[in-house]
Structure 1
Amino acid sequence: MRLDKFLKVSRIIKRRALAKEVADQGRILINDRVAKSSTDVRVNDKIEIKFGNKTLIVRVERLMDTTKRDDAELMYSIIEEKYERDFKNE
């Protein structure tokens, strides 16, 4: 499954176009390698996504073409959620 589709179906990122944009900016790593939106995602892959001052690291648990809201969280497990402090405002 393509990375941008996985991010949308799992509801990590709400829109596929936004998932594509984030990936193509080099802000997503799969297994510690920079990933493009078309990169294939497989079960047990580690995905690291940088959102501004937040970094989300997840492990792919399942691949599904469509999901209901409650089932979306079954597609991944959160390994780590990191927040970078903004030292300019301190």
Structure 2
Amino acid sequence: MRLDKFLKISRIIKRRSVAKEVADKGRIQVNGKLAKSSTDVKIGDQLRIQFGNKILEVGIDELHESTKKEDAAKMCHIINETRLENNGN
């Protein structure tokens, strides 16, 4: 499954166009390697996503072509969530 589609279906990022933009700006790694929106992801992969001042690390548990809101949470688990300090005063 494409990375941008996974991010939308799992509801990590609400819109696929936003997921594509984040990936193409070099803010997502899959298994430690920089990923583009078209990168294929599979069960067992680990994603590292940088959102502004937050880094989210998740593991992929399930892949579905479509899902209900309740089932989206089962698609991945949070490994780590880190807030970056803003030292630019």
- Could you tell me which amino acid in structure 2 is paired with residue 16 of structure 1? R
Query: Which consecutive unaligned segments of at least 5 residues does structure 1 have?
Result: none
d(CA) in 2 for partners of 1:34, 1:88: 26
Compute the displacement of 1:85 (Å).
1.1
d(CA) in 2 for partners of 1:87, 1:19: 27
Size of the alignment, in residue pairs? Answer: 89
d(CA) in 2 for partners of 1:87, 1:5: 34
Provide the identity percentage. 56
**2:16 counterpart residue number:** 16
d(CA) in 2 for partners of 1:62, 1:70: 14
Compute the displacement of 1:87 (Å).
2.1
Query: Which consecutive unaligned segments of at least 5 residues does structure 2 have?
Result: none
Matches within 5 A, 1:1-90: 1-89=1-89
User: Any runs of at least 4 consecutive aligned residues in structure 1 with deviations exceeding 2 A, and if so which?
Assistant: none
TM-score by length of 1: 0.96
CA RMSD across the alignment: 0.7
d(CA) in 2 for partners of 1:87, 1:60: 32
TM-score by length of 2: 0.98
- SS of 1:56's equivalent in the other structure is strand
